[in-house]
Structure 1
């Protein structure tokens, strides 16, 4: 048994937190070698972008993972939590290009690919590890010796092996398909790299003349600048107005191209006129329709978003915006523009440069998804991988069952370069695990490598096994794969979770994780998503500096339920810092009373008082409930259980009852017993709280008598059957209810805390009466009773007293001599008058039909809640006035 006997001083989280993190890391507590004799528990950290700055989403994600990891480590599992970062292809390249332009006035093309990549790696070394430092500040106990980067040699080898293997199986191919294209970044984008936002636009109604008839069909379009790429007009065959036109031909305005009117069920009967122009090379839905009807795809734009020669000589070289104006003007001059309507619609923007994306039909590399999804779907349906909450399995299945082939090539320089070489002589493509110098088909040395890189999500899709050294059968893979749980937000189920599932099922022939623990978003106090544009983001590092990481972590987990968004209130952070301070002061009190502590003393059951048996029983129950909730991923409920036990039971009740025994110098055994219970319960409660608030618990644990070197590797608390006293706990709970009732009556009557009063109790039976006689001292200590009087159930009830009833006891408090009835009556009347004014004002407001019709729903609801609150307060005051009249 050892402990640090230095004085605790005042709680100051910034003085202790990072010191303890350094202590843990220096002593290797985050690292465990594979040990087949122990049950494994493993997590791979969702890799933040190397360009990233820690935000509240990261803080929540890391906090939840760390709670699980610390819990399982203490339970004795063989634990690994593998951290890492993502190379973030487009985001990192943009940052380095901006730096190059600012400092040297050059573009990447000016310095060439090789030199540019040197600059990117240098940038990564200088700035890219910042987020790792920030993750440490939160207390994340991940194994930094296993730190991975999606571009490091280990991951790069896995990426190339997967690409080549899928190519050899015919599951990776090159094709001409529609993709999201950023004209500014000059690359294809994944769906997650596109931000959709509502913009004010127009709907142009254009007449398309029918060939050979003095008639036309009218279409409605939001993009008149793409008319020159039209290769059909489509209507829904169910449209009784327009179905007669199917099979006829129309002339595409401005280019005089004859195209067919086709029938397709995809056309929305309610949109515009019911007839739509089809531009397969510039719209994803049109592309699909073009595939179904074998339509030509005419690309009328250059990759930088300007118009090309196929758009017509007049428009060639124009920007999309200038071309739109010119086309609208020309249609008007030709009499083909019928009318224009204003329209607000969602438009995709590049998440990095905010340029409006252009759907382009370009030659790209794709993964054939059909053959890969079955095993991943079956894994969830068969329960091998479970979503928490389960409702997100439907989201996952829906995406998997409707997924399109995945475009994996990006026109960037930073990333995993595609391992494909093109022969300048025979025109064949060679794909290889190793760099090659000659064509695999004709052996010509006139070859060049594909300049594109892989989508960032391709490498992160391999994260559960590439981080462990695959394709080697490493010791880590044998022990820690599949991983135990993935912790992530619901917003990337499609983009990342699903991809890890099908890649892992394909290459490991197993699931990547047993559970997918989904959390929601952290929103501001008004329920809005945190964003730069709203300026409502909260820096978690700033919160840590002001209140401590423990307070931030506890705020993020309490009140948080799996899969649901949470609102972030700084008031709650402050309250949780106060909670940490409460634990600190409670520990300080215990430590101050350990000067004669005997670490070898263990009390017998007969040495324990009712309060001792109650707190030990309550502790057992808390251990059971917290452990069960952690196992069920109900982390918020688990945290609430610990909080309630520490604050409401241990601090507010047991410590207060312990004081009278600690201060008695004439009963050494009683003092030793209460010291034992205080230390036993506090040290093990700190261990139970440790996963949630790691820093303050370590610091306090070290200052208390304990076994072991660090709380981080202390055994998880377990229930002790010989310390379970349910009958005694039930008695104590009744006594506590009675004391709380007395306290409430005193508070309602504004009786000063230190002013004592007689308490009269009527027990329901002799057994309860015996308990009240035996534990009368509790009422003196905790209810400020100067006298406890017991009456028989048949005795006359006290007059001029207020009463409260708890199970088995009627409790009376005579207040006449404790308060100035006249003064208290005047105070209540004044408060009633004030409340009545507010009730009248709100009643009138909520009775106003105009207010109800115009005010936002949340404002109306807020006012109704106020009225209900004031009405309840008025009822309480009315009851209080009635009690005063009876005194």
Structure 2
């Protein structure tokens, strides 16, 4: 059906331009602030965009909501100051510069020079400032662009340092070794809220693996995994102490093989079989099995490996009721390994590639489909594969570079948000959410499942973490101001708080007079922008 064009005498573009011209010529935005009483304030800080990327329609949508609220409060008689800001640090900036330079790894940045790389980052942060300012003006978004806060400026960084120092004094900032969501492309850890931005439904191959028991001919424990790349790092099999397990017999190429798995998971068995035994998990705890790969043995004199261990996280909801345990690549795995003293050895480097402990695939990226195919083929050819199938699930990807995330054990600095969890939840209930389901649902659930904030990043262009540690006695301190930094370092002037300049400033230890060096990390740029009300 053909519809005739609806004619209108109105030129909407011309009307909008005339309104904008009137606002600008008569300074209407500033008058809307000045004419309201100073003792009736409604303060608005713009959640800062990054101006090294072009604005998009999603910015128009979010800014429309912000502008609506501010205009509504103005109509209620409030004096509504609206401060603009620019988020100028972090991976969004670094990745754009890497693309410009053709870099793919941190090694290339180091070779190029951190000083030159950071200068390029700084030069790039306002690449599209003109487009941002025009979008702001054209959509009628009222915000103070003349006096914005800028997160890379020294005075802003100094305030962020002061905030971090207060956390340090309250014992809310600490360094820990934990399993972290880690981007092998950007070579840095991510926080839980960053991970939540990058989930995608992916279809990958899962495998049910046969772990051959020692001293039991043709006998195997079955374990299922969706991450075949973690199998070279296997050091234990976790079972539930009170879960009922069975021993079954099934033919395989003319040979009767014995398989052990949870009774509730017999549904995964393909073909005919016979149950010949039944027992609780605690009865098989301690059983030993052979390493899955003939060329890898991660055990050592201090850390026994390749045995069945009890764990409270094992369920029979999926898999086989037996959990393949790779200490360095899963939170539950790591906790179990720490508890019972399993070997804690990385088989994957920080580039996401197998290291020299996995000589057969050394230097191969663990998420490459060809590498995964070779692992599965090896299992099949060595009678260690029971089954394989495609498995669709939601998997986290880096919110900036789109690479698959690895869960990886490494050192990081944390803000102890879990210590304030109850207070955060209580305060959230006092917020007047629109719609209410956001506060009680998505945001409320996030608070309920709060984990300590992994705040450090192993990168370059960002607010340097202000922790110095003595190389002689180990004493650490958090510098909270430029003045204190000059006092402790003896520097007469500090022109730039960024890397690499800040790393050249060494402090005198107040405990032993030894040399103090700064920890090399920068902080999560989300802390930068979130610190704005104080900065």
Inter-CA distance 146–40: structure 2 relative to 1 (3 Å threshold) = same
2:303 corresponds to 1:264: no
Paired with 2:507 and 2:50, the residues of 1 have a C-alpha distance of: 36
2:233 corresponds to 1:229: yes
Which of 433, 443, 457 aligns to 1:387? It is 433
Shift of 1:294: 5.1
Which of 232, 251, 255 aligns to 2:290? It is 251
Which residue is 2:500 aligned to?
none
Paired with 2:428 and 2:112, the residues of 1 have a C-alpha distance of: 49
Which residue is 2:213 aligned to?
210
Moved more, 436-445 or 136-145: 436-445
2:199 corresponds to 1:196: yes
Paired with 2:343 and 2:26, the residues of 1 have a C-alpha distance of: 64
Paired with 2:403 and 2:211, the residues of 1 have a C-alpha distance of: 31
Shift of 1:298: 2.1
Shift of 1:39: 1.7
- CA offsets, 1:516-559, max 9 Å, x none? xxxxxxxxxxxxxxxxxxxxxxxxxxxxxxxxxxxxxxxxxxxx
Which residues of 2 match residues 364-763 of structure 1 at below 5 A?
364-381=412-429, 383=430, 385-395=431-441, 396-434=443-481, 435=485, 436=489, 437-441=506-510, 446-463=515-532, 465-466=533-534, 469=535
Paired with 1:19 and 1:323, the residues of 2 have a C-alpha distance of: 61
2:66 corresponds to 1:19: no
- CA offsets, 1:53-88, max 9 Å, x none? 333332232222222322332443222122223225
Shift of 1:116: 2.0
Shift of 1:301: 0.8
Inter-CA distance 208–123: structure 2 relative to 1 (3 Å threshold) = same
Which residue is 1:331 aligned to?
379
Shift of 1:186: 1.3
Which residue is 1:792 aligned to?
none
2:356 corresponds to 1:316: no
Say which SS state the counterpart of residue 366 (structure 1) adopts: strand
Which residue is 1:592 aligned to?
none
Paired with 2:131 and 2:397, the residues of 1 have a C-alpha distance of: 28
Which residue is 1:827 aligned to?
none
2:31 corresponds to 1:29: yes
Shift of 1:453: 0.8
Structure with higher RCO (Cα < 8 A, 6+ apart): 2
> TM-score with structure 2 length normalisation?
0.76
Conserved 8 A contact 1:279-1:298 = no
Say which SS state the counterpart of residue 247 (structure 1) adopts: coil
2:92 corresponds to 1:91: yes
Which residue is 1:220 aligned to?
224
- CA offsets, 1:332-373, max 9 Å, x none? 232112222222233322222222222111111011122223
Inter-CA distance 28–443: structure 2 relative to 1 (3 Å threshold) = farther
The structure that is strand-richer by fraction is 2
Say which SS state the counterpart of residue 349 (structure 2) adopts: coil
Paired with 1:332 and 1:114, the residues of 2 have a C-alpha distance of: 50
Paired with 1:309 and 1:240, the residues of 2 have a C-alpha distance of: 39
Which residue is 1:48 aligned to?
49
Inter-CA distance 133–447: structure 2 relative to 1 (3 Å threshold) = farther
Paired with 1:33 and 1:438, the residues of 2 have a C-alpha distance of: 51
Say which SS state the counterpart of residue 197 (structure 1) adopts: strand
The structure that is helix-richer by fraction is 1
Q: Which runs of 5+ in 1 are unaligned?
A: 1-7, 470-887
Paired with 1:24 and 1:235, the residues of 2 have a C-alpha distance of: 74
> TM-score with structure 1 length normalisation?
0.48
Inter-CA distance 179–9: structure 2 relative to 1 (3 Å threshold) = closer
Say which SS state the counterpart of residue 328 (structure 2) adopts: coil
Which of 394, 397, 402 aligns to 1:354? It is 402
Q: Which runs of 5+ in 2 are unaligned?
A: 1-8, 246-261, 263-280, 300-304, 490-505
Paired with 1:15 and 1:368, the residues of 2 have a C-alpha distance of: 50
**Greater C-alpha radius of gyration:** 1
Conserved 8 A contact 1:430-1:439 = no
Inter-CA distance 380–270: structure 2 relative to 1 (3 Å threshold) = closer
Which residue is 2:331 aligned to?
284
Shift of 1:24: 5.2
Inter-CA distance 86–125: structure 2 relative to 1 (3 Å threshold) = closer
Conserved 8 A contact 1:249-1:260 = yes
Shift of 1:324: 3.0
Inter-CA distance 82–124: structure 2 relative to 1 (3 Å threshold) = same
Conserved 8 A contact 2:36-2:78 = no
